[in-house]
Amino acid sequence: MNLNLTYYHVASDVPENKTDIAVVIDVLRATTTIAWALKNGADSVEVFADLDLLREKALKWAPEKRVMLAERGGKKIDGFDLGNSPLTVTKKIVEGKRLFMSTTNGTKALQKVENSQFLFPMALTNRKSVADRIISLNKSNILILGSGWEGNYSLEDSLAAGALADYLIKSHNTKVNIVNDELNAALALWHFWKDDVLKCLKTATHGKRLASIGDYEDDFKCCSQIDCLDIVPTQVERGVIRAF
């Protein structure tokens, strides 16, 4: 197998062409929250860029079968059940339910590549599981998309892109082509920070943003854990993600 790995920092840079596999990363915190919600038994997560559309769709569901999550600028939006913390999507709250979710960047990035043949949201927590699924699918073109911050580069998403590339290079016998320098740089970042991921997250601009608006210490710890979840969040219909 010949894996071509391309990495884009932000959704607006991604060409419209359909790719075999898209992996969307938002370490702080959307894809970490999605992975934990599914691990804790959520039936599915439906993602929205637009809050009005989210409300419209969610309100058609039975209240006891839905949870509405919305975050902007790192903060929960009033009137929604939850914000975007992986610590809040506990079994008690999410089990058996559909989560309707909108975040500043992560859910927009997911929408950008929703036409890919396979779409996997990935965090550091489920890097290995997603990488193993990519290998098992035996496809050539893999696009990795960092959610960034409102159109800008983000350190933590690049770190995770490098972590994914590193795993694929080391664990697969066939050739891995690193198609662009963004991913070469992400690999270098991973090699530099891999023994202190927590520090990397706190050094990142969005880490500093979160730290300036509240006590997010436990979120940082949760988001920095590598390979602790055996969950492969997978888009099963446009915008709807389930665990595999």
- Min. distance of Cβ 117 from ligand MLT in angstroms? 24
State the residues that interact with ligand MLT by CB under 6 A. Answer: 26, 28-30, 71, 74, 84, 103-106, 147
The three-point CA angle 128-171-200 to 5° equals: 50
- Min. distance of Cβ 108 from ligand MLT in angstroms? 8
| Of 121 and 162, CB closest to ligand MLT | 121
- Dihedral sign for Cα atoms in the order 187, 17, 73, 103: negative
| Of 74 and 239, CB closest to ligand MLT | 74
| Of 147 and 158, CB closest to ligand MLT | 147
Give dist(CA 26, CA 201) in Å, integer. 12
CB 219 within 8 A of CB 85: yes
- Min. distance of Cβ 149 from ligand MLT in angstroms? 6
Residue nearest ligand MLT by beta-carbon distance: 103
- Min. distance of Cβ 131 from ligand MLT in angstroms? 21
| Of 106 and 233, CB closest to ligand MLT | 106
| Of 30 and 161, CB closest to ligand MLT | 30
205, with CB counted inside 10 A (0-12, 13-18, 19+), is middle
Amino acid residing at 139: K
| Cβ count within 10 A of residue 150 | 11
- Min. distance of Cβ 233 from ligand MLT in angstroms? 14
Give dist(CA 164, CA 171) in Å, integer. 11
